[in-house]
């Protein structure tokens, strides 16, 4: 049966990708304009990190989040804003003393990781549920920190998007719902193909989908070359999809994506070719019970 498929676009992320693809937006103006254009192309949701324009690297600066959000909200384009809380979780052991973080570490307290969410009140924010190796660093999300952030996000009236990178993170999602830290039905993002996490395969997606909390709405994404195969697979299995330059820099093999718009348009083509319809932002709000 035909159904409405929500498309989320992850605009920029925080990885060292700008040297590979110059289309990755960096400044608050570029990120906002990319989000507005993605919404016009069919994205109901835009997922937002911010970067330091001087270095291209990730930042947690509130003023930059505020500028991006204000620009999108004042544009007149209807789109659901989803702010990350993943920044501030990176730990790299120091060479002399592994108990002390290297200068590349960004690990901070949970209050700092959600400050922009409490201040700007997006409709959605991400919430990573588990710790894992991610490249050469450890992505740290301890249970007390996650519970603190979940409670504050809940009390602010923001819907957490529970990001799960392997099956054990889904078990944590069940616990957060049972304890009342997260509402039921919940919103879950199945993240596939991230180094240190679950692989981007059909079998993995089916297995993780079958572990999800009852009645939850779920999205998924695949990293790199897995992005569009995972779009098609999610549509077949009852999910919704995420694309964007945070997760994938290429439009096709060997062809760098010229923009987030191009990735959204390709996702729209896949969804409609499978005889489904792309959800608008208003329809996404209704499906997610926002507002």
pLDDT for position 148: 98
Domain range for 74 is 4-288
Band of residue 28 on the pLDDT scale cut at 50, 70, 90: very high
Whether residue 56 contacts residue 22, with contact meaning beta carbons closer than 8 Å, is answered with no
pLDDT at 217: 98
What is the reported pLDDT for 175?
A: 98
Q: Mind listing the pLDDT tens digit for each residue in 137-157?
A: 999 999 999 999 999 999 999
| DSSP structure class, residue 93 | B
- What is residue 276's predicted lDDT score, i.e. its pLDDT? 98
What residues contact 3, with CB distance under 8 A and at least 6 apart? Answer: 276, 277
Segment 159-196, tens digit of pLDDT: 999 999 999 999 999 999 999 999 999 999 999 999 99
Spatial distance between the Cα atoms of 7 and 55, rounded to a whole number of angstroms: 30
How many Å apart are CA 72 and CA 81, to the nearest integer? Answer: 9
User: How does pLDDT run across 47-94, given as a tens digit for each residue?
Assistant: 999 999 999 999 999 999 999 999 999 999 999 999 999 999 999 999
* Confidence tier at 135 by pLDDT (50, 70, 90): confident
Q: How many domains does the chain contain in total?
A: 1
Axis crossing angle, helix 260-273 with helix 28-41, rounded to the nearest 10: 20
**Of 274 and 136, which is predicted with more confidence?**
274
pLDDT in tens, 245-285: 999 999 999 999 999 999 999 999 999 999 999 999 999 99
Per-residue pLDDT at 282 = 98
Distance of CA 257 to the CA centre of its chain: 19
Instruction: For the beta carbon of residue 4, count every other beta carbon within 10 angstroms.
Output: 16
Residue 257 has a CB neighbour count (10 Å cut-off) of 21
Split at pLDDT 50, 70, 90, the class of 291 is confident
In this structure, what CATH number is given to the domain that contains residue 38?
A: 3.20.20.70
Contact 192, 230 (CB under 8 A): yes
Q: Alpha carbon of 237 to those of 8, 219, 264, 275: distances in Å?
A: 17, 11, 20, 14
DSSP type of residue 206: H
């Amino acid at each position: 049966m035909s159904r409405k498929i929500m498309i989320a676009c992850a605009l920029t992320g925080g990885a060292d990708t700008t040297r590979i693809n110059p289309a990755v937006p960096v400044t608050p103006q570029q990120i906002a304009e990319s989000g507005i254009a993605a919404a016009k192309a069919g994205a109901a949701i835009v997922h937002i990190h911010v970067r330091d324009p001087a270095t291209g690297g990730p930042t947690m600066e509130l003023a930059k989040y505020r500028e991006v959000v204000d620009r999108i909200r004042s544009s007149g384009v209807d789109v659901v804003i989803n702010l990350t809380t993943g920044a501030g979780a990176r730990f790299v052991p120091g060479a002399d003393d592994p108990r002390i973080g290297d200068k590349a570490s960004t690990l901070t307290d949970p209050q700092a990781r959600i400050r922009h969410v409490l201040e700007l009140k997006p409709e959605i924010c991400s919430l990573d549920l588990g710790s894992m190796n991610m490249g050469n660093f450890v992505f740290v999300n301890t249970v007390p920190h996650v519970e603190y952030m979940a409670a504050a996000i809940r009390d602010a009236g923001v819907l957490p998007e529970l990001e799960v990178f392997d099956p054990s993170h889904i078990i944590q999602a069940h616990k957060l719902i049972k304890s009342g830290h997260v509402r039921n039905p919940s919103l879950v993002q199945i993240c596939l193909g991230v180094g240190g996490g679950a692989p981007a395969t059909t079998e993995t997606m089916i297995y993780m989908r079958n572990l999800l909390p009852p009645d939850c709405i779920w999205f998924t994404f695949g990293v790199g070359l897995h992005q569009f195969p995972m779009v098609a697979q999610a549509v077949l299995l009852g999910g919704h999809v995420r694309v964007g330059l945070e997760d994938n820099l290429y439009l096709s093999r060997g062809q760098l994506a010229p923009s987030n718009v191009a990735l959204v348009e390709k996702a729209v083509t896949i969804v409609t070719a499978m005889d489904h319809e792309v959800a608008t932002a208003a329809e996404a709000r209704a499906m997610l019970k926002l507002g």
